[in-house]
C-alpha cells in the first residue's frame, strides 16, 4: 500500500469519525404557518421542558403538560422524541432547553408509552404568546388558497387604504351582531396577503386585558367573514349530532347567512376534543352545478353542551361567469398532468389515484379568470409522502396549478458509523501497522 493511499484512508475515516451524521428534510411553504400546522397535527400542547436524555440519533425530551389545546390525554407529563442525537441528527429538528416553555405541535408515536414526535419539527414549536393564533387555527382550519404569494398579515392605515366599508360602517354592522359594546373592541384594518387581496376589519373584544371574542368583517362588502368566542368549552355532550346542525344554522342567521340559500355539499360533522371541552366541528363545501369549488367552504364550531356558537369562518368564492361544460376529456387531462408533473418535479409520482372536476375560482397568479378544471391526483402507492395534485383547465387543456399536498418530503441519507464509531480506531491501527510493515 503506497503512502498516498494510506493518507487518503486516514482522511476519510477521520472525516467520518469527527462528523455528525445528518438527514435532510424539506418542507412545503404552508408547513410553516400555524393554521396549516394546527389542522395537520394529532395533538397540541403548552408544555415546560423538565429534562432531556440523548441517544445516538435522537433525544427524548420530558415535557410537563401545562395545557392540552387539541385532542387531550390524561397524562400530565409526556415524552417528545426529537431527531437530534449525540452522533446523528436531522436538519431542522426541534431543539429544547430545560425550563423552556412552548406550544408544541405533536404527532402520535407511541401513546401507550406517552411518547410523541414533533409535527413539522422545529417549525411546530411556538412561543406561548401565539396561543390565540393557535386556537384560531384549531377552530377555523386553513384554506388551500393561503400561502400563494408568500405574503403575510399587514396592518393598514384606513385613511390611506380608503376601504369601501369605513370603520363607522363596520362598527355599525358589528353592533348588530355582538352584544358586547363596540367601545370595548380593538378595531384594526388588516390585509391578509396570504389570500388574493383579502382586506377586512378585525374587532377584538377585550375585558380586563383578556380577549372575549374576535369578529372579522370584509372591508369591501361588509360581510361577516369570521367569528371566534373565547368562552370556555364544556367537557360534556348534551346535544346529538343532528341537533348541532340545527343550532349551527340558527346561529349563522345572526350573521345574515342562511345556509339553505347557498349551493353547498352535505355537511360533515366531527365531535372533537378542543381546549379541554367537546366541540362539534361542521363543514360545508361550496359547489356550483354539483361541482366542488376549490377552497370554498363554511366551517362552524358548536359547543356540544348546549349548542352555543364558538367559531365560524366563511370562505365563499364568486364563480359566476366560469364555463361549466368541459371540452377536455379526462384521459387528455391525465396525459397533460403527467407531462406537467414530469417537467415540474425530478421524480414525479407514477400512479394516477383520482381525476375529478373542480372549479378553480379567481386567483391572480394561477387562473386570472377562474376555470373549470380537471383535478388529477398522482401518488406513489409505495409511499404516502409523494403525492401531487395537478389542475388542468377543462376548456383550454392547459395546466394551471400544481402542488404537493403532503406537509413534507423527507429524504433520508444516512452514512452510519460502524458500531457507533467503535471500530474505526481499530481499522486505523491495522492500516497503520500494515503501512509500517511495508515501508
According to DSSP, the residues that pair with 371 across neighbouring strands are: 360
Whole-number Å distance between alpha carbons of 51 and 49: 6
- Number of C-alpha atoms within 13 angstroms, CB side, residue 95? 5
| Burial readout 218-235 (b: 16 or more C-beta within 10 A, e: otherwise) | bbeebbbbbbbbbeebbe
Beta-sheet strands, E only, within 130-255: 153-155, 185-192, 198-207, 210-218, 224-229
pLDDT at 77: 96
Tell me if 143-230 shares its fold with 330-406.
yes
345: nearest Cα among 397, 411, 295: 411
How does pLDDT run along the chain (439 residues), one tens digit per residue?
Answer: 565 555 555 555 544 444 445 454 555 556 777 888 888 889 999 999 999 998 888 899 999 999 999 988 889 999 999 988 888 777 788 999 999 999 999 999 998 899 999 988 888 999 999 998 888 888 776 555 444 445 567 899 999 999 999 999 999 999 998 888 888 999 999 998 765 557 999 999 988 888 889 999 999 999 999 999 888 888 889 999 999 999 999 999 989 999 999 999 999 999 988 888 899 999 999 999 999 998 899 999 999 998 999 999 998 988 888 989 999 999 999 999 999 988 888 777 888 999 999 998 866 555 567 899 999 999 876 655 567 889 999 999 999 888 775 444 433 233 333 334 444 444 455 455 555 555 5
Whole-number Å distance between alpha carbons of 231 and 310: 7
pLDDT at 413: 30
State the DSSP H helix or E strand holding residue 286, giving kind and residue range, or none if neither.
strand 277-288
What is the domain partition of the chain in residue ranges?
Answer: 31-127, 143-230, 243-317, 330-406
For residue 139 the three cell numbers come to: 377552530
The DSSP call for residue 382 is T
Whole-number Å distance between alpha carbons of 417 and 145: 44
pLDDT at 387: 79
pLDDT at 26: 52
The per-type count for the chain, helices as H runs and strands as E runs, is 8, 22
State the pairing for strand pair 309-315/351-360: unpaired
Whole-number Å distance between alpha carbons of 300 and 314: 9
Fold (CATH) for 330-406? Nuclear Transport Factor 2; Chain: A, (3.10.450)
Fold (CATH) for 243-317? Nuclear Transport Factor 2; Chain: A, (3.10.450)
The DSSP call for residue 329 is -
Please provide the CATH number assigned to the domain covering 31-127. 2.40.50.120
Say if CB 218 and CB 165 are below 8 A apart.
Answer: yes
Say if CB 400 and CB 393 are below 8 A apart.
Answer: yes
Say if CB 91 and CB 122 are below 8 A apart.
Answer: no
According to DSSP, the residues that pair with 62 across neighbouring strands are: 51, 79
What's CA 167's distance to the chain center, in Å?
32
Q: What pTM was estimated for this model as a whole?
A: 0.74
CATH architecture of 143-230: Roll (3.10)
Amino acid at each position: 500500500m503506497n503512502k498516498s493511499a494510506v493518507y487518503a484512508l486516514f482522511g476519510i475515516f477521520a472525516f467520518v469519525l469527527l462528523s455528525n451524521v445528518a438527514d435532510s428534510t424539506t418542507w412545503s411553504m404552508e408547513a410553516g404557518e400555524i393554521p396549516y400546522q394546527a389542522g395537520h397535527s394529532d395533538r397540541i400542547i403548552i408544555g415546560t421542558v423538565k429534562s432531556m436524555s440523548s441517544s445516538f440519533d435522537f433525544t427524548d425530551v420530558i415535557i410537563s403538560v401545562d395545557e392540552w389545546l387539541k385532542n387531550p390525554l390524561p397524562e400530565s407529563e409526556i415524552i417528545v422524541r426529537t431527531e437530534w442525537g449525540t452522533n446523528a441528527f436531522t436538519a431542522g429538528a426541534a431543539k429544547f432547553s430545560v425550563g423552556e416553555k412552548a406550544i408544541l405541535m405533536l404527532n402520535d408515536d407511541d401513546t401507550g408509552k406517552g411518547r410523541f414526535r414533533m409535527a413539522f419539527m422545529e417549525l411546530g414549536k411556538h412561543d406561548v404568546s401565539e396561543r390565540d393564533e393557535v386556537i384560531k387555527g384549531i377552530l377555523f382550519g386553513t384554506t388551500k388558497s393561503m400561502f400563494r404569494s408568500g405574503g403575510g398579515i399587514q396592518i393598514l392605515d384606513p385613511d390611506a387604504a380608503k376601504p369601501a366599508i369605513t370603520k363607522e360602517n363596520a362598527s355599525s354592522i358589528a353592533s348588530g351582531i355582538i352584544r358586547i359594546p363596540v367601545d370595548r373592541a380593538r378595531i384594526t384594518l388588516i390585509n391578509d396577503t396570504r389570500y388574493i387581496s383579502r382586506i377586512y376589519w378585525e374587532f377584538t373584544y377585550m375585558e380586563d386585558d383578556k380577549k372575549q371574542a374576535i369578529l372579522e368583517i370584509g372591508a369591501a362588502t361588509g360581510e361577516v367573514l369570521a367569528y371566534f368566542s373565547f368562552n370556555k368549552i364544556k367537557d360534556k355532550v348534551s346535544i346529538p349530532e343532528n341537533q348541532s346542525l340545527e343550532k349551527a344554522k340558527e346561529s349563522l342567521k345572526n350573521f345574515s347567512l342562511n345556509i339553505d340559500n347557498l349551493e353547498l355539499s352535505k355537511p360533515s360533522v366531527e365531535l372533537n376534543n378542543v381546549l379541554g371541552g367537546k366541540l362539534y366541528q361542521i363543514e360545508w363545501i361550496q359547489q356550483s352545478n354539483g361541482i366542488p369549488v376549490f377552497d370554498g367552504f363554511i366551517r362552524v364550531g358548536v359547543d356540544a353542551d348546549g349548542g352555543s356558537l364558538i367559531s365560524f369562518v366563511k370562505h365563499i368564492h364568486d364563480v359566476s361567469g366560469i364555463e361549466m361544460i368541459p371540452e377536455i376529456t379526462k384521459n387528455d387531462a391525465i396525459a397533460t398532468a403527467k407531462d406537467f408533473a414530469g417537467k415540474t418535479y425530478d421524480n414525479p409520482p407514477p400512479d394516477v389515484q383520482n381525476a375529478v372536476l373542480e372549479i378553480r375560482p379567481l386567483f391572480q397568479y394561477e387562473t386570472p379568470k377562474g376555470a373549470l378544471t380537471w383535478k388529477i391526483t398522482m401518488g406513489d402507492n409505495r409511499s404516502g409522502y409523494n403525492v401531487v395534485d395537478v389542475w388542468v383547465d377543462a376548456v383550454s387543456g392547459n395546466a394551471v396549478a400544481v402542488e404537493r399536498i403532503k406537509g413534507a418530503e423527507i429524504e433520508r441519507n444516512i452514512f452510519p458509523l460502524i458500531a457507533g464509531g467503535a471500530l474505526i480506531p481499530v481499522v486505523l491501527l491495522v492500516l497503520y501497522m500494515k503501512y509500517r510493515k511495508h515501508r
